[in-house]
Amino acid sequence: MVRIVGILVGLGFVGALLISLVSGLITYISEPAVETAEHAFHLHPKEVHFASDGPTGHFDRQQLQRGFKVYREVCSACHSMRLVAFRDLEALGYSEAEVKAIATQWPVPSPSINPDTGEAATRPSVPADRIPPPYPNEVASRAANNNALPPDLSLISKSRHGGAAYIYSLLTGYRDPATYRNEEGEALPAESQPGQGLHFNPYFANLNIAMAPPLTSTGQVTYADGTTSTVDQMARDVSAFLVWTAEPKLESRHSTGIAVMIFLLIFTGLAWMAYRNIWAGVKH
């Protein structure tokens, strides 16, 4: 009896799946998807290459330091980086003294109270501290950004399709919606025009983004190595830096992978020669 009931229940599940499949096919054929403005005007990330690309990719320390400078002087005004500690910056080529100097520029809340004002006191950060966020909580962050929540940038290159290429494209992709035309020469329809507090960017998923263009002019950031800080250069540098924040062990992972592949090739060769040696005198 139990077996019969089990068979009937299984047949019921199979029947429901078949009905769902047939219903979906009928809907797909009879009601084709309508292309929206997001599909018609959205652009895929630009083709851009970084030193960290590919199985043998590595980090350009000078570029990472430039990218950190862009984050510190531009992006950190709105975006947090909660997973990166100041001492991690030594991997970018900074000395211990330089890391300490960088940390002191970021004050963090102190558990003590200022005896003169009665307000919460602050203290300079130390290398063991993580980079503090620009706002104390989400409410304050939204209040300062027209109710939009700036995402944390620690893992942004991993959490967005296209990674560093997407970040670079977004930073350099702001356009004037009044004059923008897609590949077919079509103008942006009125319903897709950015509303108040929004900015048109065809690389953003729904075309309109709350973040104003953060990189606006050459010389916005002064690089210590003398590199000219054009908008394109700053976008490349901060994109490369955000690859490092998301995967700081990328180089060791690549070197380990190459070593493993070499070992497997050698092991395969030895196994094949052992097989030939052991079975050489055996007739089939």
Answer whether residue 53 shows pLDDT above 90.
Answer: yes
* Per-residue pLDDT at 36: 62
Rounded to whole angstroms, the Cα distance separating 98 from 108 reads 18
**246 is a domain residue:** yes
Span 209-217, average pLDDT: 95
Answer whether residue 1 shows pLDDT above 90.
Answer: no
**5 is a domain residue:** no
Q: Is residue 207 very low, low, confident or very high in pLDDT (cuts 50, 70, 90)?
A: very high
Rounded to whole angstroms, the Cα distance separating 87 from 24 reads 54
Which string of b and e fits 27-53 if b means at least 16 CB within 10 Å?
eeeeeeeeeebeeebbeebeebebebe
> What is the number of structural domains in the chain?
1
Span 264-277, average pLDDT: 92
Span 245-249, average pLDDT: 96
* Per-residue pLDDT at 11: 79
* Per-residue pLDDT at 20: 81
Instruction: State the amino acid at position 136 in one-letter form.
Output: P
Tens digit of pLDDT for each residue in 106-154?
988 777 666 666 666 788 899 999 999 999 899 999 999 989 999 999 9
Q: What is the pTM of this model?
A: 0.82
**197 is a domain residue:** yes
Answer whether residue 212 shows pLDDT above 90.
Answer: yes
Span 10-37, average pLDDT: 72
* Per-residue pLDDT at 118: 62
40/134: higher pLDDT: 134
**192 is a domain residue:** yes
**233 is a domain residue:** yes
**30 is a domain residue:** no
What residues make up the domain containing 63? 38-82+133-252
* Per-residue pLDDT at 231: 97
Answer whether residue 165 shows pLDDT above 80.
Answer: yes
> How far is residue 31 from each of residues 16, 35, 44, measured CA to CA in Å?
22, 12, 26
Answer whether residue 35 shows pLDDT above 60.
Answer: no
CATH number of the domain enclosing 192: 1.10.760.10
Determine what percent of the chain is predicted with pLDDT higher than 90. 66
* Per-residue pLDDT at 260: 94
Cα radius of gyration rounded to whole Å, the chain: 27
**Mean pLDDT of the chain, nearest integer:** 89
**92 is a domain residue:** no
* Per-residue pLDDT at 183: 84
Determine which of 28-37, 56-65, 95-104, 237-246 has the lowest per-residue pLDDT on average: 28-37
Span 94-114, average pLDDT: 88
Tens digit of pLDDT for each residue in 168-195?
999 999 999 989 988 888 888 888 888 8
* Per-residue pLDDT at 168: 98
* Per-residue pLDDT at 34: 52
Q: Is residue 284 very low, low, confident or very high in pLDDT (cuts 50, 70, 90)?
A: low
**163 is a domain residue:** yes
131 contacts 106 by C-beta, under 8 angstroms: yes
Span 218-241, average pLDDT: 96
